[in-house]
Amino acid sequence: MYIIAKDGTGDFTSLQQAVDFVPGGGQAPTILLVRPGVYEERVVVNKDNLRIIGEDRDRTVITARGCAKDLYPDGTEKGTFLSATFLVAGDNVEVENLTIRNDAGDGRQVGQAVAVYAAGDRGVWRNVRMIAHQDTLFCGPVQQTVLDEIAPRRCRAEFAEAVNEPAHTQGRQYFEDCFIQGDVDFIFGSYRCWFERCTLFMNARGGYYTAANTPEDQPHGFVFRNCKLTGECEAGKALLGRPWRRFARTVFLDCEMDECVAPQGFCDWDDIRVVTGRMGEYGTTGARADQSARHPAQKRITAEEAEGITLQEVLGGWDQWQPDRRVPTWFLCGDSTMAYYAPDRAPMMGWGQKLQTWLNMKGIHEYVEDCAVNGRSSKSFIDEQRLAHIIPCLRPGDRMVVCFSHNDEKPDPARGTTPHGTFPEYMSMFIDAALKHGAEPILSTPIARRHFSDEGRLIPTHGEFPDAIRDLAARRGVRLIDLEKATMRLVQEAGPEGSRQIYCHVPAGSEHYPDGLQDNSHLREEGASRIARLFLDRYLDSAFRDADFDAAGTDDCDDLIAREDSVYDKAQH
């Protein structure tokens, strides 16, 4: 996760800086959290697999003033497609909870001025405000002029030489709970798009909510379901749409339309681009529910036909995409034993780095966001606002894994806590945050340190902190993963010598540790992988009781846990 904050308190001060920095294309999406502020910048998102989240929708604003009448050095106008405030040309990009504006002004003076240009495939927009005047939202391929303009930021998005009669397009976009404001043709393009529970707001000028450019052989274009069509224009000055090209496909299902909407619904563009049966509505409610005055060529969709216009039919495609189903994220909150280490620290690795690998191997399509940080305790993690940055990203179905103790045990006043006093108080803050946002809190005891007695018996080093975690989990009724017991058994069975392959013991002359390293707290890759597997095994067993993982060579997890308890109890005495 990267934080964008205008005041310099984050990792970047502009969203474009963050997009340029992150590699994109990873197994899990990279989260870019944008803190409140007005960011005056034009953004080109040319990376795949990003999740851009505003901390506060109304106070997190991306704005610019590009317009069609902007000029090249030779005095010619740049045109519509170079006016966009926010261009997404990457695949699998999710944008949530922010406002995107084009502040160029009235189209009668400045021409078209796009706020959002959605050019990638599998784009998801949730709770986003898109505000402009003429041509607010374009959903279609990257035009040649745009490619030339953004050349330093190459992209893989679909390309089109021109907008007239495009070939079958591959791009798909999903909009949920969005507010889209404009006037003339303010939702336009050739992509397949589904709008769920969105508000379409017509400016005082009036005009057309849509102008589709659907290819002839494409069965679906724009579908609006459970949306509200309203505005500030005079009654009857907002038309449902007009065909930008001859085969425009636009459908309104179960939408509420107030008196702003024109009784005739759709209208022709000219004598060639006319309304056809590819434009229609079903189940309209509100002041304009009566369809008796609609354009005669507009389709009166039947109930049976409406049932066949489903999200899966429109956007599913070859990959059976289901954009309405959020992919859960595991947010990992912890210290250096869980944290991410860059390649130049190899072979040192936190066990959180390997959790995504094991989810993938199990066939679980969920993401891991490793927010653990070296040297943090439950107290310092919260004091540094790290939990506060995770909270805006939490969604129902997510999981928050909380694993602290190593640094809480230290006498440092900035980090130290007491096991039966301040420690459970801080840990409860994580639980409360997760539950408030519909995520599952999961408490984990800390991993064991490699500390053997002269007789070769592993000695517990975390004092009363693990018991404090066990007590808190029981008292709050949340899931507990007892990694201390599990790792003590793992390390005890490996023995004083074999356990060196679990922890970061590196001989002198190693590439990143020329003087060698004898670290009995932090893990090397092999240990990180084994402990991530131990964690997931116990999670799946506790959650489903049908896990087929076998982290220690047995199918009987109850027997395994009993033996871990025995090893732990013997070590305690």
Measured CA to CA, the distance from residue 329 to residue 390 in angstroms comes to 11
Query: Which structural domains are found in the chain, ordered by start?
Result: 329-572 (3.40.50.1110)
pLDDT digits (tens, 9 = 90+) for 242-284: 999 999 999 999 999 999 999 999 999 999 999 999 999 999 9
**pLDDT per residue as tens digits for the range 355-382:** 999 999 999 999 999 999 999 999 999 9
Dmax (CA) for the chain in angstroms is: 94
Confidence band, pLDDT 50/70/90 cuts, at residue 162: confident
Q: Is the pLDDT of residue 569 over 90?
A: no
Closest alpha carbon to 190 in 156, 207, 167: 167
Token pair listed for 95: 């944008």
Q: In degrees, to the nearest 5, what angle opens at C-alpha 473 toward C-alphas 447 and 333?
A: 50
How many CA atoms, within 13 angstroms, populate the side-chain half-sphere of residue 57?
A: 13
Would you say residue 200 has pLDDT above 50?
Answer: yes
The answer to whether 52 touches 95, Cβ cutoff 8 Å, is yes
What is the model's pLDDT at position 447? 98
Confidence class of residue 432 from pLDDT cuts 50, 70 and 90?
A: very high
Looking at residue 301, what is its pLDDT?
96
Strand partners, 64: 102
- Band of pLDDT at residue 62, cut at 50, 70 and 90: very high
Task: Find out whether 463 and 435 touch, Cβ atoms under 8 Å.
Answer: no
* Cβ partners under 8 Å of residue 48, min gap 6: 24, 25, 90, 91, 92, 93, 120, 156
The answer to whether the bond into 347 is cis (omega within 30° of 0) is: yes
Residue 545: band (very low, low, confident or very high) from pLDDT cuts 50, 70, 90: very low
Task: Answer yes or no: is pLDDT of 161 > 80.
Answer: no
pLDDT(548) > 80 = no
**Residue 562 clears pLDDT 70, i.e. is over it:** no
pLDDT at residue 559, as a whole number = 55
The pLDDT value recorded for residue 565 is 58
pLDDT at residue 530, as a whole number = 97
Mean pLDDT taken over the chain: 93
Instruction: Note the pLDDT of residue 543.
Output: 74
CA-to-CA distance for 106 and 403, rounded, in angstroms? 54
Higher pLDDT, 568 or 146: 146
Alpha-carbon gap, residue 396 to 459, rounded angstroms: 40
Mean pLDDT of 158-177: 83
pLDDT at residue 165 tops 60: no
pLDDT at 431 over 50: yes
CA distance 145 to 194: 27
pLDDT bin (cut points 50, 70, 90) of residue 557 is: very low
User: Which of 237-251, 402-416, 550-564 has the weakest average pLDDT?
Assistant: 550-564
Q: How confident is the model at residue 555 (pLDDT cuts 50, 70, 90)?
A: very low
Please determine, for residue 547, whether its predicted confidence score (pLDDT) is greater than 60.
no
* Phi and psi torsions of 199, nearest 5°: -105, 125
3-state secondary structure of 264: coil
Confidence of residue 552 (pLDDT cuts 50, 70, 90): very low
User: What is the pLDDT confidence band of residue 572, given thresholds at 50, 70 and 90?
Assistant: low
Confidence of residue 307 (pLDDT cuts 50, 70, 90): very high
Bridge partners of residue 194, in order along the sequence = 174, 223
CB 133 within 8 A of CB 105: yes
Average the pLDDT over 100-122 and give the result.
Answer: 97
Confidence class of residue 218 from pLDDT cuts 50, 70 and 90? very high
- Looking at residue 568, its pLDDT comes to 54
Claim: this prediction has a pTM higher than 0.75: yes
Is residue 130 classed exposed, middle or buried when 0-12, 13-18 and 19+ CB atoms within 10 A define those classes? Answer: buried
Look at strands 86-88 and 43-45 and give their pairing.
parallel
Q: How many CA atoms lie within 13 A of 345 on its CB side?
A: 15
**pLDDT of res. 152:** 86
Neighbours of 280 (CB within 10 A): 27
pLDDT of 27 reads 76
**What is residue 37's predicted lDDT score, i.e. its pLDDT?**
97
Res 345: pLDDT: 95
Contacts made by residues 23-31, CB under 8 angstroms, sequence distance 24+: 23/47, 24/48, 24/49, 24/50, 24/90, 25/49, 27/356, 27/360, 27/367, 28/329, 28/356, 28/367, 28/368, 28/369, 29/92, 29/94, 29/367, 30/1, 30/2, 31/1, 31/2, 31/369, 31/393
Statement: residue 550 has pLDDT above 50: no
Average pLDDT over residues 187-212: 98
pLDDT for residue 160 = 84
